Structure formats: structure tokens, C-alpha cells
């Protein structure tokens, strides 16, 4: 029974520290949100995406994405230095548009593909669709080959 007061004291101290940690965590989250908002604002107001070159891609979930291809002035690396807080960092530039830093890649993901071109034009970005064009050409060749196979095996008739 003589250890009970010491256990209660430690339990009380643990609870106090955990409560403080939760408060600090919430404050940290709020500060990160404020920082992301300022970085997004800086990107647009200081025209940091202007003149940068991006490659248009679609991932397996049909999510529209621009991947940084060329940035002669290093503007996006400057933003990365300010914004990155881990190997996989991201923040919303505007509603439905997210800037992502994954390993060594910088990309912008769009909630809808229809948002991509207006966003790029508004921010003076240069966009290339070579990857998509190549994929489309390959798909057309694959479809043509499949149509021949289906025709040879009479699979195109119901």
C-alpha cells in the first residue's frame, strides 16, 4: 500500500503531460495549415509556377496530374524547401488542386481533369502531353490487334 501514492502521483503527471501534448499537437496542426495557406498564396501571387514545364499524366485511378519536368529558375525547389515536411508532403493550392512532394518528384494533382488546363493557363505553366499521346497511340494499336483476334475467332458477333 505504500506505493499507491507514488503511482497516483505518476499517473497524474502522465495525464497532465498527455493533455499538454494533445494541445501542442493541435497547435502544430493549426500552424501547419496556416503555413500551407501562405505558401499557396505565395505560389499564385509571386507567380512561382510561371514558365515552369510540366508533363500531363493520368494514374491508374484516372486522377489528372501534372509532374514537374523543367524549372530553369528553381522556383519550385524554393517552394519545396519551404513546404516539405517529410518524404511525402502535400497541401492544397486551391480547392481541388493539390501540390505534392513525393520523394524526388514534384507534382500537382487535380480532383477533375477539367481543372488542369485552366489552372495551368492562369498560372503561366507550360504543359506537355507527350506521355498521354504515347499511351493513346499504344491503346489504339492494342485495340486494333484485339479487333483482329476477335474477328478471327468470331468473337465480335453475338
Q: What pLDDT digit, counting tens, does each position of 94-115 carry?
A: 999 999 998 888 999 999 889 9
**Does position 157 have pLDDT exceeding 90, yes or no?**
no
Look at residue 133 and tell me whether its pLDDT is greater than 80.
Answer: no
The confidence band for 34, taking pLDDT boundaries of 50, 70 and 90, is very high
Would you call 57 exposed, middle or buried from its count of C-beta atoms within 10 A (0-12, 13-18, 19+)?
middle
- Helical H runs in the chain? 4-45, 75-83, 116-122, 130-152
pLDDT tens-digit series, residues 56-92:
987 766 678 999 998 888 888 888 888 888 778 888 9
Classify strands 126-128 and 53-58 as parallel, antiparallel or unpaired. Answer: parallel
Amino acid at each position: 500500500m505504500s506505493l499507491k501514492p507514488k503511482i497516483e502521483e505518476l499517473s497524474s503527471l502522465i495525464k497532465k503531460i498527455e493533455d499538454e501534448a494533445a494541445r501542442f499537437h493541435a497547435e502544430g496542426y493549426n500552424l501547419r495549415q496556416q503555413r500551407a495557406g501562405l505558401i499557396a498564396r505565395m505560389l499564385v501571387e509571386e507567380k512561382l509556377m510561371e514558365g515552369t514545364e510540366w508533363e500531363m499524366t493520368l494514374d491508374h485511378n484516372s486522377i489528372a496530374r501534372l509532374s514537374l519536368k523543367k524549372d530553369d529558375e528553381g522556383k519550385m525547389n524554393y517552394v519545396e524547401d519551404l513546404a516539405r515536411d517529410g518524404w511525402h508532403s502535400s497541401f492544397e493550392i486551391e480547392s481541388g488542386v493539390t501540390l505534392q512532394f513525393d520523394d524526388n518528384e514534384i507534382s500537382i494533382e487535380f480532383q477533375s481533369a477539367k481543372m488542369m488546363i485552366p489552372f495551368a493557363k492562369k498560372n503561366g505553366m507550360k504543359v506537355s502531353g507527350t506521355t498521354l499521346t504515347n499511351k493513346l497511340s499504344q491503346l489504339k494499336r492494342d485495340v486494333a490487334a484485339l479487333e483482329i483476334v476477335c474477328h478471327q475467332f468470331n468473337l465480335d458477333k453475338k
